[in-house]
Every structure is written in C-alpha cells, then in structure tokens.
Structure 1
Amino acid sequence: MDYVVDLVSGCLQTFQTVYRLFNPKLYAYVLKKTGSAYMAEEVVQLTFIRLWEKRENLSSEYSLSAQIFRIAGTILIDQLRKEAVGKKHLTIVENDYALRTEVDQPEMHHAVEQAIEQMAPVRKKVFKLSKVEGYSYKEIAEMLSISPKTVENHVSQALKQLRAAFSSIISLAIIMSAIIHK
C-alpha cells in the first residue's frame, strides 16, 4: 500500500494506520538513543504532529520509514538542544544563587572593579564600552579604529580575566564559610 500518496492527500485513516505501525519502532529507537521514556514519548508525539502538518512535503521517492525517522532525528536533536540550554540556564541560576549567598555584594563589586582595573588599557576600554556602556562591537571598532574581531577578542579575554578573578573569590568565600560554620 502506498501510504505516502494517501497521507499527502490527507487520509486520516492512513495516518492512524501509519501511527500504529511506526509508533512502537520510533519509541524504541528514541528510547535506545536517549535512555529517557519521557524524551521518547515527546519525540514520537512531535514527530507524528509534524508528519501530519507537513504531509504535503512527503516524497514518493523515499520510503515512508526513512522520512519518519528523519523527522524524528531532527526533532530529537532539537529537543536535546533545548534540554542542554535549559540545564545551562539552570546551572547559571544555581551558580548565581550560590555566589550571592557565599559572597556579599559590596565585596563582589569591589572585586569586579579591581579585576577590570588590572586589565590592559585597551582591553579595559573595550570591555567598559561593550559591557558597561552597551556599544556594539562594530561601534567600538569604529570608535577605536580597530577591527570588530579585535573588539571581540578583547571582550573574550576580559571575560576570561573576570572568571579567573571570580573563581578565586568564590573559593575564598567557600573556605571562609566552611571555617565559620564548623
């Protein structure tokens, strides 16, 4: 039976048949790839939604199986990216909370100012123009007669310096907190 032609024409009965045929295979595939029943259910559901929504784009040149699994692969990658971004944001929030509880704000502000003041003059100027005054890399490049890539490099190096300064401050705060709470 040519499921592709029937799906393209919008046959709901064919869609239900295709769903029953491919749902277990697709679920098992995604479960094996991710180890997550939730992710497998989510990807399968989204795959069949997209299959129905984009049924006009199906091709008789390829097997329906290949097209369904390609859709599922794309959705799986999207879902994994979203999950990774979510975890990254959660980590940032958790780190920010830990930082605020371990280090008091005036001390942190002073440490940031000190770290910025220790930067090379051009790097300090570029960093302040970018992060404090909000200029774009292109605007800064024009102001200072340097390339936008140079601006990007200065900001990147400035952020590395700040991260290094913060890590030592946080380490000190954690040690002090452990000593105080003994």
Structure 2
Amino acid sequence: MKTKKLLPLPKSTNCTLVEDLDLFQKIAKGQYAALELLFNKYYDALCRFGLTYQKDISIVEERVSDVFIILWNKRKELNQIEKPKSYIYVIAKNSLKKPIKSHLSFSIDTQYQSNILFSPSTEEEIIDKEQKEINAQIIQSILNSIPEKSRQIFELSRIDGFKYREISEIMDLSPRTVENHIALAMKYISKGLRNFHQNKY
C-alpha cells in the first residue's frame, strides 16, 4: 500500500498568481463577477486563517466578508497590486485584529453563508476514501497539538501555498522566525504520527 503524504502540494504559485492578477484587473474594471470568483476561491481558507485570531466563527465570517467589501471599494487601486493573494491575507489579518465595532454586510449566496468550516477540510481531501473519517480525525488531532502561531504559519505554507518570504510579510515576522515555526510544527507532526503508530500497534 502506497504511503500518502500528510498534506497535498499547493497549486503552482505562478499559476495562482496569474489567475489572481487577472481577477484583480477585472475587479478594477468594475466586473463584480470577478469579485465573486475571488470570494469563492479564498473565503474558506481566509475563515480558517481567521480562526487563529478570533474563535467566534460568526465574527470571523463577517470580517472575512468585509475583506471583499474593502477590495471592491478599493478596486481602482488593484491594478497596482503585484501579489494579490498576500494582499488579501494582509487585509484579512488587519480586519480581524481590529476591535468589533462595524456591521458591514455583503451580498452573497446563502450557500456560502451556511458553509461549515472544514467541511470538507483541506486535510481530509488527501486521505484515502476508505479511511477518510478516521485519518481526518488523526490529522486534525495532530494539527491541534501544534502551538497556535506555528500552526497558523504551517497552514499558510503547506495548505495555502505561501513562500516563507510571503508569510513573513503577512505576519510581520522575519523569514528566519517563519522557518523556526515551520520546523517546530514539523516536529509536532512527526511526534504525533510516531505516537499514533506506536499506539496502533
């Protein structure tokens, strides 16, 4: 039986960059459909990211929705952005760190408003179908054991596909600190898998 990697390789950075730049250009021209595509692409990932700052899902969902309102309101400036994905995450981080005082609304399909985070989660998508539920619980348990900041940085790297330099810009950390957090997360994952196999047998 072939061994599956814990997490999937992220989509090509260059491919994602080209797609996002194209969407930003269309939004800058006032194409609302492009904003909806961007929303559908990043909403769940941003909510997961947001939960590392705020544990109330309803607040996270509201703040993440606000991100796209901000993008639309600043659409004329988007042609100047060279790294759309990083730009979006920085807006999300700044929004989530602000005190709760606004109640902006965003018109989206109810199917997205009622989405359950982590269903399906990025972790579950790479697990063999016949063991999906069991392995998903194991992986989630291991990820939950990682210190919050290290897990946040690990997910930005391995799940969202950011480079260390990009993560350092988003999180206001040095690249070396980012590397240290990734290394720490990997140690926790290695230990978690080792403990699982020992308990299994």
Give me the TM-score of the superposition, normalised by structure 2.
0.37
Q: Which has the higher contact order (CA 8 A, sep 6+)?
A: 2
Greater helix percent: which structure? 1
